[in-house]
Amino acid sequence: MAERTEPTDTVTGIIELEAESEFDNLMTSEDRVLVDFYADWCGPCQMMEPTMEAISKTVDAPVVKVDTDTFPQIAARFDVSSIPTVIGFDQEVPAGRLIGMQDAEAIRQLVD
């Protein structure tokens, strides 16, 4: 496990992942992270987009969107084989996982 760095400010909102290193940096610098594994072609993933956007404004944790087609190695690290999958992390450790369409309250509880 990488050495944790003290966050200066908690990152919030939706983060569209652009590099695997960005994911790793967020995981080590933030206490809690909500990760949305999705694909552009996934209908249920698209339907959950407004829910994830709303959640990103109400939780004190970054919401990271990981495109499983672009970053299959990240999905594999966490045994993601179905999408949408949302995982809440606490101190870099998966604290909860939801697979398929979910309501906002269930997702929010992953990082509350």
- In this prediction the pTM is 0.88
State how far the alpha carbon of 88 is from the alpha carbons of 39, 41, 57, 74, 92, in Å: 18, 23, 16, 14, 9
pLDDT at 106 over 90: yes
pLDDT at 35 over 70: yes
Residues in Cβ contact with 25 at an 8 Å cutoff, skipping those fewer than 6 apart: none
Q: What is the pLDDT of residue 44?
A: 96
Domains of the chain: 13-108 (3.40.30.10)
Residue range 32-48: mean pLDDT, rounded:
96
Catalytic residues: 42, 45
* Position 112 confidence tier, pLDDT thresholds 50, 70, 90: confident
